[in-house]
Structure 1
Amino acid sequence: MQLPWKKTFAIIFSGQIFSILTSAMVQFAVIWHLTETTGSATVLMIAGLAAFLPQALLGPFIGVWLDRWNRKMTMIAADSAIALSSLLLGAYFLLGEPSLPIVYAILTIRSAATAFHAPAFQAAIPLIAPEEQLMRVAGWNQMVFSFSSVIGPALGIAVYSATSLGMVLFLDVAGALLANLMLMLVTIRQPKPGAGRSPSFREEFRLGWIAFRSVKPVVILTIATAVFGIVFMPLATLFPLMTLSHFGRGGYSASVVEAVFGIGMIVGGAMLSVTASKLKDTTYMAASLVTIGFTCIASGTVSNEAFLWFVLLSFFMGAAAPLYNGPYMAMIQRQFEPEMLGRVISLVTSITLLSSPIGLALAGPVVDKYGVQAWFLGSGIVIVLTGAFIYMRFIRMNRNEDAADSR
């Protein structure tokens, strides 16, 4: 018997929250370990490249497979691969300090598995939830991710400090297995093959590209998201370095910043769930970017004695993030048919993720030469301008749509 859609999401999210939580623990613990042992922004950027580049390169091709394969089994297989990679890296750390190439290789494997899991989950959402509830589900998804972002860094640094990085990685194995168990308890229907299905891989890829290009607002917003990613994604690996190098504080202070950022994301996700569909998608997105941009600018100019101000800015930065991510994904889920959605989501994910390696490659030398605050300041200016562009580009379109609806 098919469960009501809310119960289905409750079961899925109850497993995903542990998987995302332990992954957040691993992400923070690995970054802090590299920060503490090397103190090099270049090492952090290479680690970031290993974590993002496989997703970006595989993304355009994975979509075709996602639209062919069972999406639930794809998520289970991907989580199993992530669990195996954590198990291997954990064993290395228990036996001794692994070399940096080994750490980079394991991060690459985890990234490749995530390249399958993330778009498969997003493509499965419209197969479970009614169309009018997609924005609300996006808010729930952001809240689950944000809760894990709050607790993950604190738990990660606590377990890392009390035991070892290997133990943090073993907990990630348990989290992935629990997520798989919850997925096995639910049914996710498969989209019926339609006009977008072809026996030719190349033809299916081409049809996905044509479908993406046919929706101009999504194309424009994807380009804007890529620009945003170039300047903002490096900050995910630079927050600990900002805490260590600019403010002269240790791992627990760095975990506080991450936790406060995550609390802000929880608040933003809750706001999105409550106010879902009350504003245009692009209004949420423009407001989000402008807010994030100004908090980055302020972070880039704050003195090294104003750590509490940096913590407060991190809260508002985190609160603004779901107001961009949620509407963007909900817009894509509404615009495309389920049998085409895997290709489109993996394609836009790949485009946006390709911006991350570009940003990471640029950020490493800039931060090593000019300091971490320079990147915060420069990225803030670019993000504010991107938000203003989205608002000005779509305000006329929104007004025309409102005028048409009132006729």
Structure 2
Amino acid sequence: MKKNKNQQNKWKRDFLTIAGGQTVSLIGSAAVQFSLIWWLASETASPIMMSIAGVFAFLPQLVLGPFAGVWVDRLNRKTVIIAADLFIGLVALVFAFFFLFGNPPYWSVCVVLGIRAVGNVFHSPAIQAAVPMLVPQQELVRANGWSQFMQSGAFLLGPVLGAAMYTVLPLWIILLSDLVGALVASAMVALVKIPDPERHIKERTRFLDEMTEGAVAICQDRKLFVVTAATLFGMVFYAPLSTFYPLMTSDYFRADAWHASMVNFGYAMGMMLSAIFLGKFGTIKNKFPVIHLGLLGMGTSSLLCGLLPSEMVWFWGFAALCALLGASSNLYNIPYIAYLQETIAPDRMGRVFSLIGSLSSATMPLGLLIAGPIAESRGVSLWFFISGIVLLLLTLISALLVLPKADKAGKSTS
């Protein structure tokens, strides 16, 4: 009994040590990201330059993700996590010198955002693949709930900290906060022993063959394939909404920047409350009903946002629906990640997470190509309505294909 309690305390201590360090790093990165974007926006006032910066931030995951996943699975994951964190911090340190000795050209910010994103391409799948090596399988939903809670808090606090620092500090000092966060995160990871998975490789396989194994692992699980395919198709319509929130606030409701901050705050608070709930009641055997509940909430919230009248009194309804969107996104995301961590072979997990990350990144530019002209000519509220309809239809189709199978599987094992 005492041994079991010690083991339970050990995984919690190890996981929270890493998660705490990563949260500190995320706060620094979010502050730096906000400051760089705000500097670029205030200096150029150019939507084209902002769009280019967004493309640079997304491009590394789209292009390098499948390749990075192979290396995450080949190499020691602890080494990959620390190296990626330090890489991002060193990029910030080098760019800090450019601001220390003058104002760098605007395009250099786009390049730095892209280079920092290269580190995240390796860092995210390595962290996600390392979690099941530390956390017992039945506790994965709980652990991911804790992690998402801390990440949501970091994304909430980071821009606020970045805005406060931007008003009183030169940009080169703000950039150093990214290095400090990376050093803290790396030190926390170094304190924890992360077991590597057993790699069952009889002979050295080709790099491209290993890349395809990530896709094969998803396709072999019918339920996972259906949910993943439905979600990725839905993200083509849903992902552009992240760029339309400010326009809904400023153009549709004619509100100001303070109201826009309330939308971001509500979304982050929704994510945090959902993460707290799943962290507290996190032992979920059949995850697919919760996953579909999250998709249902995302679709319903988007649909209702598109139906709101443009009078200012309805803005608070929009802010409340954004909080529901944030909560629903975690209801989907946390059990989905936990299911991947439970069912995918540990020596393939990096490739699977990298592949899904790359495919998810591709939905944003593809979605904007479709949504941009429609939102420009007919208004952004119409796209909220369209994305809601599409998500609800895809949720219904996925549920009809997956949930009966999940129920049968649950009965057969009971």
- How high is the TM-score relative to the length of structure 1? 0.89
1:238 and 2:255 aligned: no
CA shift, 1:381, in A, is: 2.1
CA shift, 1:337, in A, is: 1.7
Instruction: Provide the residue aligned with 1:353 in structure 2.
Output: 361
The one of 255, 258, 263 aligned to 1:257: 263
Instruction: Provide the residue aligned with 2:209 in structure 1.
Output: 203
CA shift, 1:153, in A, is: 2.7
CA shift, 1:128, in A, is: 0.7
SS in 1 for 2:299: helix
Q: Any unmatched runs of 5+ in structure 2?
A: 1-6
SS in 2 for 1:4: helix
* Closer/same/farther in 2, CA of residues 107 and 71 from structure 1, 3 Å limit: same
In structure 1, what is the Cα distance between the partners aligned to 2:374 and 2:203?
Answer: 46
CA shift, 1:118, in A, is: 0.1
The one of 85, 89, 92 aligned to 1:86: 92
SS in 2 for 1:321: helix
CA shift, 1:382, in A, is: 1.9
- Percent identity over the alignment is 36
The one of 58, 66, 70 aligned to 1:64: 70
In structure 1, what is the Cα distance between the partners aligned to 2:127 and 2:196?
Answer: 12
Instruction: Provide the residue aligned with 1:403 in structure 2.
Output: 411
Q: Any unmatched runs of 5+ in structure 1?
A: none
The one of 312, 329, 349 aligned to 1:341: 349
SS in 2 for 1:189: coil
CA shift, 1:36, in A, is: 5.5
- Structure 1 range deviating more: 326-335 or 45-54: 45-54
1:330 and 2:342 aligned: no
In structure 1, what is the Cα distance between the partners aligned to 2:380 and 2:99?
Answer: 29
1:274 and 2:285 aligned: no
In structure 2, what is the Cα distance between the partners aligned to 1:142 and 1:313?
Answer: 20
1:307 and 2:333 aligned: no
1:11 and 2:17 aligned: yes
* Closer/same/farther in 2, CA of residues 47 and 361 from structure 1, 3 Å limit: farther
In structure 2, what is the Cα distance between the partners aligned to 1:272 and 1:321?
Answer: 12
In structure 2, what is the Cα distance between the partners aligned to 1:328 and 1:196?
Answer: 31
SS in 2 for 1:7: helix
Q: How does 1:4-403 map to 2 (within 5 A)?
A: 4-32=10-38, 43-92=49-98, 98-163=104-169, 166-195=172-201, 198-278=204-284, 280-302=286-308, 303-305=310-312, 306-403=314-411
* Closer/same/farther in 2, CA of residues 157 and 228 from structure 1, 3 Å limit: farther
For residues 2-31 of structure 1, give each alpha carbon's deviation from its aligned partner in whole angstroms, at most 9, with x where no partner exists.
981111012111111111122233344445
CA shift, 1:120, in A, is: 0.4
Contact 1:45 1:234 in 2 (8 A): no
In structure 1, what is the Cα distance between the partners aligned to 2:91 and 2:69?
Answer: 23
Amino acid at match of 1:261: Y
For residues 236-290 of structure 1, give each alpha carbon's deviation from its aligned partner in whole angstroms, at most 9, with x where no partner exists.
3333343333344444433332222111111001111223244632211211122
In structure 1, what is the Cα distance between the partners aligned to 2:203 and 2:352?
Answer: 14
For residues 26-46 of structure 1, give each alpha carbon's deviation from its aligned partner in whole angstroms, at most 9, with x where no partner exists.
344445555556666555443
Contact 2:40 2:106 in 1 (8 A): no
In structure 2, what is the Cα distance between the partners aligned to 1:375 and 1:165?
Answer: 36
* Closer/same/farther in 2, CA of residues 209 and 313 from structure 1, 3 Å limit: closer
Contact 2:297 2:324 in 1 (8 A): yes
SS in 1 for 2:228: helix
- How high is the TM-score relative to the length of structure 2? 0.88
Contact 1:32 1:251 in 2 (8 A): no
In structure 2, what is the Cα distance between the partners aligned to 1:299 and 1:39?
Answer: 28
For residues 79-109 of structure 1, give each alpha carbon's deviation from its aligned partner in whole angstroms, at most 9, with x where no partner exists.
1222233334455556665544322211211
Matched pairs, number: 406
* Closer/same/farther in 2, CA of residues 178 and 300 from structure 1, 3 Å limit: same
Instruction: Provide the residue aligned with 2:3 in structure 1.
Output: none
* Closer/same/farther in 2, CA of residues 246 and 46 from structure 1, 3 Å limit: farther
CA shift, 1:159, in A, is: 2.5
In structure 2, what is the Cα distance between the partners aligned to 1:249 and 1:98?
Answer: 34
In structure 2, what is the Cα distance between the partners aligned to 1:207 and 1:376?
Answer: 36
Contact 1:57 1:354 in 2 (8 A): no
In structure 1, what is the Cα distance between the partners aligned to 2:257 and 2:88?
Answer: 25
Contact 1:123 1:333 in 2 (8 A): yes
CA shift, 1:164, in A, is: 5.5
* Closer/same/farther in 2, CA of residues 283 and 32 from structure 1, 3 Å limit: farther
